Each structure stands twice: as structure tokens, then as C-alpha cells.
Homo-oligomer: A and B are copies of this chain.
Amino acid sequence: MTLKIALVQTNSLVGNIDFNFNQITEIVMKTRSESPVDLIVFPELVLTGYPPEDLLLRTDFISQVNGILFELAKLAPEIAIVIGFPEIFKGKLYNSAAVLLSGDVLTIYRKQKLPNYGVFDEQRYFSAGTDSCVFELKGQYIGIGICEDTWHSKIVEATKKAGAEILVTLNASPFHSGKAQKRESIISKNASAAQLPIVYVNMVGGQDELVFDGASFVMNKNGEVVLRAQEFVEEVRIIEFDGSEPIPAYCAPSYTPLSSDYAALVCGTRDYVYKNGFKGAILGLSGGIDSALVLAIAVDALGAENVEVVSLPSRYTQAMSNDDAKEQAYILGVTYHCIPIEPAVNAFTAMLEDTFANMQSDTTEENIQARCRGVVLMAMSNKQGKLLLTTGNKSEMSVGYATLYGDMAGGFAPIKDVPKLLVYALAKYRNQLSPVIPERVITRPPSAELAPNQCDADSLPPYEILDPILQRYIEEDQSSQQIIDAGFDKQAVARAISLVDRSEYKRRQSAPGIRISVRAFGRDRRYPITSGYRGT
């Protein structure tokens, strides 16, 4: 007896139950007509998108789900459909999966392990289920798990004990660098320990700071991958079981860290722009590496015809910066503007002349330049309905090397979680596919160009030293002493950590960006602004 299961890695729109319902309907009908299966598995909370956050506290939102399950059950009564949804049961809210069959709800599973760490807040909303759920389909017994459940060997084993011969798991498992490998490795252990094949279905697409990579898979009872879907692509993959033995099928190649990271940035940017209804994107192109990479990402995400760049030179901008910016715009075929900011800078300088009389020049004057650029870019964004992308990287966000309302102005920050060294690596990776960033942009030393002959290395440790210090402090919670003991210079460590500690107020007003590391700024790292903690 064989059993055919469709893994649907779909891209939901958070909050829009009608949209998600229609999308699910379309996929079910298409699968039914093109390649009939016995069971279709959708991701966790596919009806609401993930994470719906405080929309889950709204009765009007939750009650929209009621009834929809029965409509879905009637779509293709001969096919079993497993679907994730928020369920009100005896006055409590659960993160549940319904099995729809023969026009009805056959059974419901309630997620047992509710993650409440990192980017997850599930205990804010959900009560935990307590029981395994196994149902019969064509003589096979199928158990259900939801995301975090399947990371716990005890729950996988309990499902097996409850009679499951195959485990299907619904996921909204967000990407970070190396996540797909980590996922496969943990699930593989649990599959082989319980001697239970696992069908793992993950969501795909960007949602604010999160991006879901898909990369769904099927493992046999020895934990070997026998099917692997592509990453960052909406697709339906079908696995056939002979009894409880899956028949090997399509396997997307394993991903390389750089290709996955880059794909994550493109996917996250595309979905943020389009899901929020923008007509395209605009960005300031300085001739530096950060905006060059963001432009490459934007063009890959949106197409050159939907991207516009503005060069905003000041008296401190070197000619080669302008040349390189213009060259990249030309290579990529995007609309290019050049608007020198001197008139506005001069106006502000004159307006503040009396107030600032007898006061020394300091970063105030640098910030005025950055903010004049912000005003121009925002005006162009407002006028055309194009989203302003801000181009700061994670190293800058960490140490506060950015101007609030200046270069930080913008609605989305594609490389906010990309440290400077990774910015270079991704630029080189992208240029290997096709040349999109002028070589000199990659090789020249980085500078903010806000003062004469300014260079990042004047006020910051070199990125080869800074980036690993930041990673240890921010992502690994190491103390300054631990970092020094690992061989880093005491003063460089003190300087870096002190800058991180006192820049929280800037990060709190920064645009959201795509998480690709194990700890991004934003919902993932929640620090007080008012804080007497000093890491040094």
C-alpha cells in the first residue's frame, strides 16, 4: 500500500486570513488536478501567517478562523489536509494543527512545546497541548508535531508510542545562517532514535525581521534525507511512502552559507517591499560597499525597473565615490539621480550660526550632513511611494556608527544583521555570479566621508578585529574578560563593548532588517535603553 504526501512550503501573509485561505485553496485544487495525493501538509499557522504577534489577542481576528476550516475541509474531501491554525478550545488559545478529511475535521493536534526565547513569544499567546495525536490514513498511522515539538526527542518518541508510523511536522522555523543544517541534524537524531520517518514542512518568505527558508525535507526512519525542497522558493514537493518507507525523491543540493545568506536577504527584501504595498525601492548610493551591496540585493529582489538610486555628494565626497556610484547604477540599469547636499547644509549652518557661536565643530556638523541626505531621500520616497532602504550594516548598528534620521532614515534595513566582513564576502559572492559591484568599491578602505579624509579605521578598530569581538559580545553573550582571554586586545574590546552598550537608543529607533545571524538586533536581542550595565 502506498501513500502520497505533498509538502507545501507556502508564503503566507500575516494577518490576512482571506488571502491565506485563497492561496491554500488554489494549491489544494492545483495539486489535486495535477498530481493527486493522499495527504497535503501545510506549515504551522499557515492560516494566519507567522508570527501574528498581538493580532492573536483580538477576538475578531481569531473568530475569522472559525468556519474557514470547514470550508477548507469541503475543498477536496478525498484528500487529507493538515493545516496549522490558532484554535480556541475551552476558552484557551492553542497553536494547533487540524486534519481535514471527508468534509470534516478528523482530529486536532495542539502544540506542546511553546518556544519563548530568542525571536519567539509563544507563551504570550498560547496554552500548551499535552497529548500526542495519531490518525489513520489508508492503513498507515500518521502522527503530528508542530515545530519545536519535533526538536524534543521525548515528544517524537511519545508520538511513536502512540502508534505513529510516520510523523508529519508543521513548521514556521525562521532562517539564520546554518539553520537548515542544524535543523536536519537534530531532526535526524530524533527520527533515528525513535525509528520514525519524518515529513518536515516549513514556511517560506519574509515577515518583518524574520525570513523563512522553506528547505522542507523528508527523512526515513534512519534519519537520512530522502527528499529536500529548495530554499527560499514557494513549492510543492511530493513524497511517496511504501508502507512507512519513503521512496527517495528530489533532493535540492545542500546550501552554502554565502548563497543562503544572500538568498535570505533577497527574499526578505522582496517580501517586505511587496507585502507592504510599495511600488519599489529607493536608496542613497554613496560609492561605498554597504549601499553597493544593498543595491545588488534590491535589484535581485525587485528588478532594476523598480529600483532608484540617489547620489548625494557633499564637499567631503571624493570624486571616485561619485564615479563608482554612477558606474554601478549604469551596470545594473537602475534610475540614477545626483543631488548635491551643499545648499541644505549651508542653510542649516547659517541658521545655527548664532546659536553655535563660539562652539567647536564636532559630530553635530557630520550629523547635519547625514540628515540632509535623509530629508532628500525621504522626500523622494514619499513623493513616489517607493520604500527607502537604509544601508547600515551590523557592525555599524552595533557600535552606533550611524546617524539617527540621517543614514538611518528608511523603512527597511536589508543588511542590518550583516557584519562588515560578511558584507565584503557577500559582495564578492554576488560578483562571481555576474559583475554588479565595481571592483574599486570592494577594495578601497571604508569611509563615512563626513569630514575631510575620514576613514572608519580612525575611530574604530579594524573590522577584522571588531567583527569577531562584536560576535562574541552580542551573539554569544561573552564577557569582556572572556573576549580578552581569547586573545583580543584589551583596549579594542573595551572600546567596542562600550560603544555597543551606549548605542541601544539608536537601535531602538532603527528600521527593521532581516535576521540572518543567531542573534539579530530587534525582537531577538531585547536590551533596556536606560541601563547602568557596562560590559567592561
Contact = CB atoms under 8 A, between A and B. Distances in A.
Interface of A: 13-16, 19, 49, 51-55, 57-61, 116-117, 121, 123-124, 206-208, 271-272, 275-276, 337, 339-341, 343-344, 346-348, 350-352, 355-356, 359, 362-364, 367-368, 371-372, 374-376, 378-380, 382-383, 404-405, 409, 411, 477, 479, 481-482, 505, 508-512, 525-535
B363 A382 contact: yes
Contacts of A509: 509-511
Contacts of A374: 371, 405
Given A116-B121, A348-B379, A356-B379, 12 more contacts: A14-B531, A15-B533, A16-B532, A19-B532, A53-B527, A116-B116, A116-B123, A208-B529, A343-B347, A352-B376, A355-B380, A363-B382
A54 B527 contact: yes
Nearest to A374: B405
B343 A355 contact: no
Nearest to A382: B364
B14 A532 contact: yes
A321 to B, nearest CB: 19
Given A337-B355, A344-B347, A528-B53, A368 B362 contact: no
B364 A376 contact: no
A363 B525 CA distance: 35
Contacts of A535: 60
Contacts of A356: 379, 383
A484 to B, nearest CB: 12
A405 B408 CA distance: 10
B375 A61 contact: no
Contacts of A363: 382
A49 B123 CA distance: 24
B512 A60 contact: no
A277 to B, nearest CB: 9
